[in-house]
Amino acid sequence: NFQYTAPRGDPALIETLMKHYSPLYAQDLTAENFAVSCGAQEGIFTSLMTLCNPGDTALIVTPCFPAYFNSAKSLSINLKSMPLSCLLDQEKLRAKIEETDARVLILNTPSSPLGKVFTMPELASIADVVNSTENLTVISDEVYEGVIFDGREHNRFASLPGMHERTISLFSFGKLFSCTGWRLGYAIGGCRETMHALSCITSTINFCTPTPLQRAAGKVFEVAEKEGYFSWLSEMMQEK
């Protein structure tokens, strides 16, 4: 198909993503929970634009991927850095959120360039703090979900109690399948109103991502699950 597809994402790809991620989140995800983007980098931009107004503050652990700061600067969002030790200390994190009146907390697991893979107890500690706030939303960048080894497990922040509707999780087809030139990313969010707004922003930027690539990506996901690709990926990274 060489025509436009839905701004939210091609229905065939969305259907495949629903089947793949619903059991991982223990949720009956629908098309309204997804938004496909031109790479996860666009997802960073549209997520920040959806959740913040100019002048708002967001928090992130540094060092980090520079695209966060580039997107925040272009949107006039104050992106404040903090050390990993602050994120993992409930009192320090709570104080930082209150001090800055942050609207967004950006997580990255597995983290680049830190290489940090957050454990479920660590994420649960962060979720406790988020649950104690009223206006904070989490952007969970999980583009390296498949690049794990040493017996570690990728834990999904949005799967924690109370976090499904307060999180936008970002993923990258290019990172997962080593084809970054395809420029395909996707976001999953529990709050359908938020995801609708994000999709509307996408539609004003590029209307939709290329239909043929989305169709191909859906087929790749289906074959990958049948052929055990995701297990192989971890084993291959371990050997490296």
pLDDT tens, position by position, 122-180: 999 999 999 999 899 999 999 999 988 888 889 999 999 999 999 999 999 999 998 99
Q: What is the pTM of this model?
A: 0.95
pLDDT score at 151: 83
Does 1 score more than 80 pLDDT? Answer: no
- The DSSP secondary-structure symbol of 57 reads E
What does the block give as tokens for 213? 């690539």
DSSP 12-56: HHHHHHHHHHHHHHTS---GGGEEEESHHHHHHHHHHHHH--TT-
Please state whether the peptide bond connecting residue 110 to the residue before it is cis, i.e. omega within 30 degrees of 0: yes
pLDDT score at 239: 84
pLDDT score at 149: 82
Helices (H) and strands (E) in the chain, counts: 10, 7
